[in-house]
A and B are shown apart, each in its own frame.
Chain A
Amino acid sequence: MTAVFDPGAQAARATDAILADTLSGTSRGIVVDSPPGAGKSTLVVRAALELAAAGHPLMVVAQTNAQVDDLVVRLAEKDPGLPVGRLHSNDSDPYDKVLDGLANVRKSAKASDLAGLDVVISTAAKWAHVKNVEPWGHAIVDEAYQMRSDALLAVAGLFERALFVGDPGQLDPFSIVGADQWAGLSYDPSASAVSTLLAHNPQLPQHRLPVSWRLPASAAPLVSDAFYPYTPFRSGTDHGDRRLSFGVASDGSAPDRVLDEAAESGWGLLELPARHTPRTDPEAVRAVALVVRRLLDRGGAATSERSPDPVPVTADRVAVGTAHRDQAAAVRAALAELGVTGVAVDTANRLQGREFDVTVVLHPLSGRPDATAFHLETGRLCVLASRHRHACIVVCRAGVAELLDEHPSTEPVQLGVMVKFPDGWEANHAVLAHLGEHRVRWEA
């Protein structure tokens, strides 16, 4: 073994082991933990293609229609000749129209219409209604940590064995009613599918994709320490492999200075004066929009392992993340006012699984007078802090550290529930402490 860390080789070893278990292993299930940007989708597509090629027809379970359509498109890109079935709901517009252009993709609301195809893909919700069919030999369950245990219960009878892939650090599934009475039970219906699966089958092989190809060297250690303390990962690229530069020099304003800081270090904190504000804090919203506008105006360009020449950071490579929908709406309006279009602006829930060059985040606790469990949820901050390939800029009112101190963590503890993840309070402090080193103060 050489002393030099070779991320490519390490990731390849992990992938090979996963595929070997999937194709020729004897376990009924295989679990793969994938930190942000570790190549989860690539793995799912590859596993599906190899299973199909080996003569094992399979079903794929994803959680949302967008995820299903995305997988169908990726499969068709890799192997246009592969017969793929897209099982969809009876609603109007049940799938993305892009699928109509794919020659070997058959779409139907009835599973029987798709019988015999190499790969059949649908959402967990739709699969749950499929009855009286011959079970598939193989299945892939994607985003398994975002799937609820009861959803797995409804579909598990459809397959003999399955590969479960997901990111344990993202937002947990939730229920709209209390489920405390089942907490601690191995099959708690409100828990994630993976926790139930492993509680009943602890001997299943568990793999981990060890390398994040998305997160830069500046971000992987922080995200790994703060959100994956017990299952660390590292970045596939090194310091200096990625560079963000601007065609136009800074004008000395706070947005320009925080952009320069983020280009240099990967992180930037634009700190507004402490104040309690409504959720749609007009000043913070405007600051977010200004940062985006300046990023585009200054001709941001990204250099990375993907191409030796700088690639312009265009609007579609930028995202704004918020905690609430009304905040996203306010940011969209502010961007429209500044004439910016094409930037993805969404909540953490909807940004899950997506990737950009630069992200601008309105801190979930900015301006808040209180820190609720919703705002402290680790998964929310983790999603927001792990969508970028180059830099993440956080816009926040001063005083969040003090706010956290006023709301010490007093989470209830259910007996028998596995601790999977760090405390939201602690993770927030950890991220904030790191951001504090890249602070630029807003001057009105």
Chain B
Amino acid sequence: MSLISTLARLEAVESGRAQPMTTVLHRHLTDRPLVLVPLTTAGEAGAPLGALVGTDRDSPRLLAVSQPRDRDLRFAFLAELAEAVLPHIEAYEDVVEPTERNETDPETGKKVKVEVELCADAPQLIVPSRAGIDFVRLLGRSMRFRRTAEDDPDTPYPAPARVPLLGRWLTHYGERARVPGSSLLLATTDLLNRHWATGQSSLEDQHLGALLAWIAAPAGESGARAALRAELERDGEGQLLCPPAGPATDPAFDNRLLAPAIEKYDRARTSLAAAEDGLAADARLAELTAAERDIRALLAGIMRPTWDAVWRGLDLLKELPEGSRAEDRWTRDRWSFTGHRDRVRSGEPPQPRRDDAVTAAQKLASRETAQAQLEAQEALDDPLVLAGRRLAGEAFVGDVTGVVMAYSESKRPSPRPLVTVRTDERPHLGERTKVYRSLDGRPQTAEFVEYAAEPEDGDAPLLVLRITDRMGRSKEPAPGSVPEPGDRIAWTLFEHDQRGGPKLPDPEETPWTHGGPPGATAGQAERPDPVTAEDLL
């Protein structure tokens, strides 16, 4: 952890309030996010228990599973989830703007501009915690290989119609969430932790209730106290007043409330099945309905505080102005969304279980680029983030004290002005280290020449930089392209833009070191997961 964020945490301890880590919002938040609060059954891999989902903070849609080990009920839940999520996604698919993209012409090998569609906006999905993102991924994995009756009339346990499609979208969102700086799928705790430092550890910061307690502590109460209450306070029945943000539930809830309710439901179902006449069946159906209602009420009761906390967190975040380069990253998210829309529409099979060698390498390379890009953009957008880089010697702010015109030693000399900068910071500069400043939103490069003669006693050291680009083509630099004495400028040792990596071979040309070409199975849809005969998880 950088010393600046450590200091922020310590200030939070002392003041009893979370302290800012940024001055702007570094993730794009849409006006109409879809919030999803999922719950899962303890000990089961793919057995959802319930969810709150929707775009209206005042009326979430409640989804509940009365017996999570029952396949039919599980499918019903997933079908309902598809009904809640897919229309929201599809609403963005056809609102497009025309744009151009560089593509390589397969015949000539030349770069050509191609007219393509780009979705004007993309649906954003917000979950409470990082575990929620993992769960989205897990749901995606459990659904995308399912077969519907339409896919395969002989499949023994057909999935509801739209479930595999939801699986593909959730998989896409889960994968996109691994890209640094992306905003298609975000966890509220990650968002809050990026922007505030609390007086507790990063481990405790994963508790949404405790985190919010620090950021928006009730008047008259310290964040520490409020957080402790969120962590531990229980009612007379031993239930947490601030239930875990999921998808895992509190064992005390499972054991004392949920298990008896499910038992009651199971009993009602058994007795309904055993009913011998209509009258008895009616009475027993009423019992079953009541048991179902009880479970829904229980689940709603423990999910609602989390639902409200997510919206509360979004409110707090929206009070920050958005960093100017966040929009640029959101555009990439829109490309990502549009790309997946196109893959689904063109009838491509679902994403494979595991990436092939080339795809894995491509993803890693693009994420490393995105990470470097994110770090640079956040620092350029936000003086508080830049402060951390300055402390680390990766950037510095200095006052220009003099400019001497100089030229390169070539046939057509270009301007290479020498700029003297006064700074008391200690950047890691070596001979010809490159530094960059932002000029009209684009980087200008300079290189470190030397430390100027010893400054007067007590003054900050002087260093000399040589500007090497962005001054135009003529002998005289373009107006405004060379710093002037008196300018106060932030220089970075890191690049502002990232070059993409080398082009990798096509998957069909995977070299022998990496297993060779994929062979005949390539491009075919993967087989669905085998279904267990009893399938009682």
Contact = CB atoms under 8 A, between A and B. Distances in A.
Touch A–B, Cβ below 8 Å: yes
A197 interface: yes
Given A153-B511, A156-B512, A189 B178 contact: no
Interface in B407-459: 428, 432
Interface string A139-174: 000000000011011101100000000000000000
B178 A200 contact: no
A279 B212 CA distance: 34
Contacts of B80: none
A28 B515 CA distance: 13
B178 A181 contact: yes
B115 interface: no
Interface string B352-391: 0011111011011101101110000000000000000000
A154 B514 CA distance: 10
A189 B366 CA distance: 12
Interface stretch (B244-252, B277-285, B502-510): B502-510
A272 B485 CA distance: 50
A177 interface: yes
Contacts of B503: 131
B360 A182 contact: yes
B361 A189 contact: yes
A175 B512 contact: no
A185 interface: yes
Contact of A153 (B178, B428, B513): B513
B501 interface: yes
B514 A196 contact: yes
A92 interface: yes
B20 interface: no
A133 interface: no
Among B180, B357, B501, B513: residue with most chain A CB under 10 A: B513
A125 B516 CA distance: 22
Contact of A187 (B178, B357, B367, B509): B357
Interface in B499-532: 501-505, 509-516
A65 interface: no
A178 B360 CA distance: 12
A149 B504 CA distance: 12
A173 to B, nearest CB: 12
Contacts of B357: 153, 187, 189
Interface in A263-287: none
A99 interface: no
Among B178, B180, B357, B505: residue with most chain A CB under 10 A: B357
Contacts of A128: 501-502
A325 B430 CA distance: 13
Contacts of A28: 512
A196 to B, nearest CB: 6
A218 interface: no
A196 B513 contact: yes
Interface in A181-205: 181-182, 185-190, 193, 196-197, 200-201
Contacts of A186: 515
A13 interface: no
B513 A197 contact: yes
A103 interface: no
A179 B366 CA distance: 12
A29 B514 CA distance: 12
A129 B502 CA distance: 6
A196 B511 CA distance: 12
A200 B180 contact: no
B360 A156 contact: no
Contacts of B512: 28, 156, 200-201
Nearest to A159: B511
B364 A175 contact: yes
B364 A150 contact: yes
B304 to A, nearest CB: 33
B361 A149 contact: yes
Given A175-B364, A177-B367, A153 B504 contact: yes
Contacts of B370: 177
Contact of B371 (A176, A193, A196, A200): A176
Given A149-B361, A179-B364, A185-B360, A157 B511 contact: yes
B511 A156 contact: yes
B209 to A, nearest CB: 26
A305 interface: no
B368 A175 contact: yes
A93 interface: yes
Contacts of B364: 150, 175, 177, 179, 182, 189-190
A412 to B, nearest CB: 15
Contacts of B428: 325
Nearest to A190: B364
A156 B180 contact: no
Among A29, A154, A177, A186: residue with most chain B CB under 10 A: A177
Contacts of B504: 150, 153-154
Contacts of B372: 176
A177 B513 contact: no
B175 to A, nearest CB: 9
A280 to B, nearest CB: 13
A339 to B, nearest CB: 20
Contacts of B513: 29, 152-153, 156, 193, 196-197, 200-201
A189 B360 contact: yes
A196 B512 CA distance: 10
Nearest to B365: A150
Contacts of B502: 125, 128-129, 154
Interface of A: 28-29, 92-93, 125, 128-129, 131, 149-150, 152-154, 156-157, 175-179, 181-182, 185-190, 193, 196-197, 200-201, 325
Would you list the 5 A-B pairs with minimal beta carbon distance, nearest first? A156-B511, A128-B502, A150-B361, A187-B357, A189-B361
Interface of B: 178, 180, 354-358, 360-361, 363-365, 367-368, 370-372, 428, 432, 501-505, 509-516
27 contacts: A29-B513, A125-B502, A129-B502, A131-B503, A149-B361, A150-B361, A150-B365, A150-B504, A153-B361, A153-B504, A154-B501, A154-B505, A156-B511, A156-B512, A156-B514, A157-B505, A157-B509, A175-B364, A175-B368, A177-B180, A177-B371, A178-B178, A182-B360, A185-B355, A188-B360, A200-B513, A200-B514
Given A128-B502, A182-B355, 14 more contacts: A93-B432, A131-B503, A150-B365, A152-B513, A153-B358, A153-B361, A153-B505, A157-B505, A177-B364, A179-B364, A187-B361, A187-B514, A189-B361, A201-B512
